[in-house]
Structure 1
Amino acid sequence: PLSATSASGINFAKYRTLKSFLILYGVMSVLILTLLGVLYYQYAKTLMLSSHRLAMQLESESYVPKLSDWLEQDRNLSTFPKDLAYKTALYGYDKKAIVSRLHTREINFNENIYLYNNHIYLVIPLAPYDMGDFYLIFETKDDGLWRQQALEITLVFGAVLFLILAGVGFFLSRLILRPMNEAITLLDDFIKDTTHELNTPVSAILTNIEALHEGELPPSVEKKLRRIEIASRTISTLYDDLTYLILNHDVAVHNTPLNLSHLIHERLEYFRHRIEQKKISLELTIDTDVILIIDRTKATRIVDNLLSNAIKYNQMNGTISITLHNTLLCVRDNGIGIPSEMIDRVFERYTRADKSVGGFGIGLNIVAMIAKEYHLNITIESKEKVGTKICVEWE
């Protein structure tokens, strides 16, 4: 089943453009925010390590003399000097532990100060103190307060930047879609102007055709007159669609019990010449007196557009099958069908499955609009070069 809500949605090309822009802009925004967050985290970490380095180096000034005395004496491991502020370790020139009170024996001698397993380590070469190729290691536990503070600041500033980027994105999206919106507005204005100009000449043509039918005409003239009538009724149907599309919000709605069985026979008679022109055969399974509470104009638009498409996209000597039951109306043809990638889009305004056939691409959009209004369910089945079946179901 295809939901009718797609009919009131944005034009597919416009939606695709907006979707592509939002995806690209969203990915870029996330990358920018992530990069800024990582950079600030590294900055906070560096600032924290710098603070600890200063404190540890100050502490080492008082500890190194004690260590020097120990190295000059018996170097008894039990008398290895302790530091009140930090845990300490002494490593030899081969970078192996001589004495260690640290949580780990894996020391990174390539770093002066670093964070590992929630502990901070300061590596102090003792050669500058004339104490040989020894390394003094200070260790202290990281309280994590800097990390929590960095996270809070990142979230606050990240939220502010996100709102700024969202505002910029909204402005850019409007800027990008402006040409497309202007084109759609131009097309809508053109349709309004065209609709206004169509009414008088089409009505005059149909009135005069009916007057001519009252007299006796030669077969050749009758044939030409029928072609004129078919073309005029096609334009008249298009005019009705355009008028509904433009004025549907302003026209009073009269929902009354409507005999759909009578309406379908009436509209088949309206399209009779077009059906005969393409030599289409009809297969009718129409129950008697099927009633639906609906506005007659809107019901006519549904039936007319389903029939018009079944005729327009059918083949010569084709078949149209119409089924009407208590809660179901189906119109099936064996025409050109709809490409699979287009099925989900045929109810969008200005979308045509086959652009070689005339029309504005508004007929099924109107059907979907009315279906949504009356909570009717639309299903469509189609296969290229096999045909199309559209059903409207109600409760």
Structure 2
Amino acid sequence: MLALNAMVISSPEFKSLRAFIALYTLMWIFILGLLASIYYESEKEKMLAEHRLSMQLVNETHYINMFYHYIDSGDELPRSLAYRTAVFDDNKKALASYLKEEPRDFTRYISLDGDYIHFIVRVGTNDMKVKYLVYETEDNRLWWKAMLKNMLLYGTFLFLFITFIGFNLVKIFLRPMKEALDLLDNFIKDTTHELNTPVSVIVANIEGINLENLQDKEAKKIRRVDIAARTISNIYNDLTYLILHNDVVVKDEKIDLSRFVCERVDYFKVTMNQKKISFVKEITEDVFIFIDKNKLSRLIDNLISNAIKYNKINGEIRVELQEGYLKISDTGIGIPKDKIDMIFQRYQRANSVVGGFGIGLHIVAMICKDYHIDIEVDSQINQGTSISLRF
């Protein structure tokens, strides 16, 4: 079973936009991460180069003489006034040390190990026990703070630039889809306008015909025309609602849903009889709902119409109505699991065998959203579909 909160209705346009934004965002996160990493390494190497010059100067002008005196005399390792020092053997084992943290890599001349900077000088010949002289100083993190400040400044400008570029790319990306949807909307609007008068005339004249006075063959033809006219009328009502729903004045009122559902079922009985569909109802009396009557008609009509359209010959439609709950089930072809989440999207159909615009259930979802009605869909292939409304 798939439960759909009517407050969230996705669309192909939104899905495409979401996928594009996700890809665009991931790409720029990768690029920004790469730039930040390069900038960090550059600033770190710049800081280490500055420390290397000062440490090398101390080593060459002052401390190295004290160090060789220590080697010759065997006295305690002399302390440097500027840096902490240590000596290591060829196995990187400390022979004498004033360091707070030992270097991790003896192959580099200078390195940042945690909070400490180490400058390593290789000394002595093969016959000397001492192989490495190490200088240590604490990293004051000033370079780090300056780097973060610059990254924040440059990052802000870069973010604004990326957002500007992304906004324009989104407009370009969605333009073809928007133009196609606008074209389809305009076509539907023009078609709807042209359908109004002939449909009204056909329905009015058919309702005035007394089928009992006709031969069976003629009566059957009239019934077929009646079914076609009702189908066109239903499509017309859907298209009108879809196009003009924002301009129509909504008049919410207390409606007897029990009676209303029965009336709408009677309206579709001619169509159900054509497919030999039986109707089973479990309707609790005096169930009321506060809603606009036109919207309720679109809601119920589309659910019943779909149950008929996707049902089998000699199938069954079951309507269950209780307080706060309406369920319409059919014994039709069912909906694939991977398509249930798209049936409420505009111009989307779960089955291409049966014709239609793909707007009926989209209208259902729109109305449910307006009145905070939750929709639940339960469907099994070749067994049928149940759509439940909780209000």
1:154 deviates by 2.1
Partner Cα distance (2:56, 2:182) in 1 = 72
| SS of equivalent to 1:329 | strand
Correspondence for 2:277 among 277, 280, 288: 280
- Structure 1 residue 366 corresponds to structure 2 residue 363: yes
Q: Partners of 2:137 and 2:333 in 1: how far apart?
A: 79
Query: In 2, are the aligned partners of 1:77 and 1:99 still within 8 Å (CA)?
Result: no
Letter paired with 2:53: L
> For the residues of structure 1 that align with 2:322 and 2:91, how far apart are their CA atoms?
94
Measured in 2, the distance between the counterparts of 1:146 and 1:23 equals 34
Tell me which residue corresponds to 1:223: 220
Q: 1:104-123 to 2 correspondence within 5 Å?
A: 104=101, 108-123=105-120
Residue by residue, what CA displacement relative to the aligned partner does 1:70-114 show, whole Å, maximum 9, x if unpaired? 269x51313x44321122334567876554433356574422222
Match of 2:242 among 241, 245, 257: 245
Distance 1:44 1:288, change over 3 A: same
Q: Deviations over 1:31-69 (max 9, x none)?
A: 111111111111111111111111112222331563377
Counterparts in 2 of 1:69 and 1:106: CA distance versus 1, 3 Å: closer
Name the CA distance, whole Å, in 2 between partners of 1:205 and 1:311.
22
One-letter amino acid matched to 2:73: R
Unmatched runs of 5 consecutive residues or more in structure 2: none
Describe the SS at the equivalent of 2:344.
coil
Contact 2:302–2:361 (Cα < 8 Å) also in 1: yes
* Paired amino acid for 1:46: E
Q: Could you say which residue in structure 2 is the equivalent of 1:356?
A: 353
Residue 270 of structure 1 deviates from its aligned partner by 1.7
- How far 1:289 moved relative to its partner? 3.5
1:184 to 181, 186, 189: 181
Over the residues paired in the alignment, what is the CA RMSD in angstroms?
2.6
Offset from partner CA, 1:190-224 (integer Å, 9 cap, x none): 11111111111212222332344378323212111
Q: What corresponds to 2:4 in structure 1?
A: 2
- Partners of 2:102 and 2:355 lie apart in 1 by 82
Q: Deviations over 1:7-31 (max 9, x none)?
A: 4x4x2x3233222222221111111
The answer to whether the 8 A contact 1:4-1:378 is kept is yes
Q: Which residue of 1 aligns with 2:38?
A: 39
CA distance in 2: counterparts of 1:70 and 1:62, whole angstroms? 14
Aligned equivalents of 1:26 and 1:169: distance in 2? 9
The equivalences for 1:128-143 within 5 A come to 135-143=132-140
- Of the three residues 367, 372, 378, the one matched with 1:375 is 372
| In 1: Cα distance, 2:304 partner to 2:46 partner | 75
Query: What are the residue-to-residue correspondences of 1:1-395 with 2, within 5 Å?
Result: 1-7=3-9, 9=10, 11=11, 13-64=12-63, 66-67=65-66, 70=69, 74-78=72-76, 80-90=77-87, 99-104=96-101, 108-125=105-122, 135-213=132-210, 216-394=213-391
Post-superposition CA distance 1:154-205 (Å, at most 9, x none): 2332233223222222221221111111111111111111111111121222
- Counterparts of 1:142 and 1:250 in 2: how far apart (Å)? 68
Specify whether residues 75 and 96 from structure 1 end up closer, same or farther in structure 2 by C-alpha distance, changes over 3 A only: farther
- Identity, in percent, stands at 44
Contact 1:261 1:286 in 2 (8 A): yes
Work out the CA distance in 1 between the residues paired with 2:209 and 2:115.
98
CA contact (8 A) 2:316 2:331 kept: yes
2:70–2:78 contact (8 Å) kept in structure 1 = no
2:63/2:80 contact within 8 Å kept: no
| Structure 2 Cα separation of the partners of residues 301 and 105 of structure 1 | 78
CA distance in 2, matches of 1:143, 1:243: 72
Q: Secondary structure at the match of 2:108?
A: coil
Helix, strand or coil at the partner of 1:6: coil
SS at match of 1:382: strand
* SS of residue matched to 2:120: strand
CA contact 1:283–1:320 (8 Å) conserved in 2: yes
Q: How big is the shift at 1:136?
A: 3.6
Normalised TM-score (structure 1): 0.89
Tell me if structure 1 keeps the 8 A contact 2:7–2:372. Answer: no
Going from structure 1 to structure 2, the CA distance change for 1:65 and 1:300 (only over 3 Å counts) comes to closer
* Residues 251 and 55 of structure 1: CA distance in aligned 2, closer, same or farther (over 3 Å): same
CA separation of 1:142 and 1:207: change in aligned 2, threshold 3 A: same
Number of equivalent positions: 387
Q: Give the gaps of 5 or more residues in structure 1.
A: none
Q: Distance in 2 between matches of 1:66 and 1:309?
A: 96
**Residues of 2 paired with 1:148 and 1:56: CA distance?**
23
Q: Is the 8 A contact 1:4 1:347 kept in 2?
A: no
Rounded to whole Å, the distance in 2 between the matches of 1:135 and 1:175 is: 63
- Alpha carbons of structure 1 residues 241 and 81: separation in structure 2 relative to 1, 3 Å: same
- After superposition, the C-alpha distances for 1:258-284 in whole angstroms (9 at most, x for unaligned) are 222332232222212111100111112
